[in-house]
Amino acid sequence: MHILFILLSLLGSFYFLIKKRTFDFFSVAYFSSIIYFLPGYFGYTLVSPTSLKMYILDETYLIMIFVQMSILVGGCFFDTLRKKTEIKTTIKNTNLTSEIALFICLLGFMLTIISSGSNLFDANKGVMVESLGRWHMIMRFGAALAVVIAFVMKKKLIFIISLLVILFDIFLGFRSIAAIVTISLITYWLTKQGSQRLLINQRKFVKYTLILGLFFFSYKQVYSAIKGGNWELVKERISDPQFYIYSIMNSEPFTTQSILNTVVASNFQTGFENMIGLIYQFILFSPSLGAEFITFNQQFQPALFPTITFGLANNIWAQMWSVGGWTLLILFLIINILILSFGSYLIRMNDPNLKALILLLFSYWSFYIHRNDIIYQINLEKRVFLFWFICILTSVIINSIVKKSINKY
């Protein structure tokens, strides 16, 4: 199964890299699966907290194969139906959305610094995280929207300022928003290039993207030293080629897939309790209204990883397999294909604000889904949409007030 997984994975990589096609969310999803299924190429996962190696089971490999092949088949099918015409849809009076997103971002930035104080710069991430509140989330999502909208609208100053906030977030030790923004911008730029053979026509771009990807892997191993001002340690690590290999072979995918492998190995099964929370995700401020639900992590971690005191990530493929076996897993793979198709279709919208929304929503879905459960994934999508809607609504209101004032005088 190990060899079969590698061969089929190479087949999919060949299609998305060599086939003449337009870059889309199927491309993002497939390359994301390569990153998060890295343990499959090495043959083992790392079980926290001791980083003990656990060999990957055949059934785990089969799940990985099904995930990758479903994306490949979905991409092939979508390519046969792809239309090149632009979707002409415009939301009027939304020319200020990037400015409003930047305002939200800077407000969150300032109040994060004020509320967290010196703990924000503590080299111990645990201490820092405890000091963070909702202002940090507002800063991050505001920055993500401002960067992407400004990039699409070609507003350089707003782009640079909001990008600096993203870099500050990286300095603090968070990479997820930066990764999603990067994927959104890459998707936007490559989509604009039209149909092409990615590895041939964009060879330099692919090389620089790989270097950037290596940065995201390795930064986790040095950010504490950077925050602590230990530049000798930083210099020592980044000058050692083995450091980069270590960064990859001890990265998040190795622990994330240990969840899937352990769930399969122990035949861990749950009911639909951890799926009920999906209903509450479509109700605004449901936690404040008293909505309580069980997450997949609350079920598997105490049972399978009882000695781990910190919270593990999630694994949506483990969740689907645990809740409904192969039936639910295959059903969700079909849903995933439909969602990727929908996003790849909507990316052709000509309205910059709608395009920015689609880029962020579906970048989150196509890339980040491998390390979340379904509830948290929907929560992320909801946050993006709500922040975007606030920016749109505020822009419309301001423009309406200005127009009324002009007409009055």
Model pLDDT for residues 229-275, shown as the tens digit of each residue = 888 888 888 888 888 988 888 888 998 999 999 999 999 988 777 67
State the pLDDT confidence band at 284, using cuts at 50, 70 and 90.
low
Long-range contact pairs involving 169-176 (C-beta distance under 8 Å, separation at least 24): 169/139, 169/140, 169/143, 170/219, 170/223, 171/223, 171/226, 171/227, 172/120, 172/128, 172/227, 173/125, 173/128, 173/220, 173/223, 173/224, 173/227, 174/140, 175/216, 175/219, 175/220, 176/368
Model pLDDT for residues 186-216, shown as the tens digit of each residue = 999 999 998 999 989 888 888 899 898 888 8
In the chain, the percentage of residues whose pLDDT exceeds 90 is 56
The residue extents of the domains of the chain are 2-408
pLDDT at 266: 92
Of 258, 378, 264, 394, nearest to 329 by C-alpha is: 264
Whether 187 contacts 31, CB under 8 Å: no
pLDDT at 66: 97
Cα(82)–Cα(372) distance, integer angstroms: 29
pLDDT at 228: 82
Between 322 and 278, the more confident residue is 322
pLDDT at 403: 80
Question: Is 86 exposed, middle or buried, given 0-12, 13-18 or 19+ CB atoms closer than 10 A?
Answer: exposed
β-strand pairing of 20-21 with 196-197: antiparallel
Answer whether residue 291 shows pLDDT above 70: no
User: Can you read off the two tokens belonging to residue 398?
Assistant: 């301001």
Of 102, 91, 109, 209, nearest to 147 by C-alpha is: 102
Answer whether residue 382 shows pLDDT above 60: yes
In the chain, the amino acid numbered 74 is G
Of 361, 106, 80, 127, nearest to 227 by C-alpha is: 127
Model pLDDT for residues 74-112, shown as the tens digit of each residue = 999 999 887 777 788 888 888 999 999 999 999 999 999
Model pLDDT for residues 146-196, shown as the tens digit of each residue = 999 999 999 999 999 999 999 999 998 888 999 999 999 999 999 999 899
The rounded radius of gyration (Å) of the Cα atoms in the chain is: 22
Whether 16 contacts 71, CB under 8 Å: no
Cα(55)–Cα(62) distance, integer angstroms: 14
In the chain, the amino acid numbered 361 is L
3-state secondary structure of 46: strand
pLDDT at 250: 84
Cα(311)–Cα(308) distance, integer angstroms: 8
Answer whether residue 46 shows pLDDT above 80: yes
User: Can you read off the two tokens belonging to residue 264?
Assistant: 């399969």
| Residue owning tokens 């930064």 | 219
Answer whether residue 286 shows pLDDT above 70: no
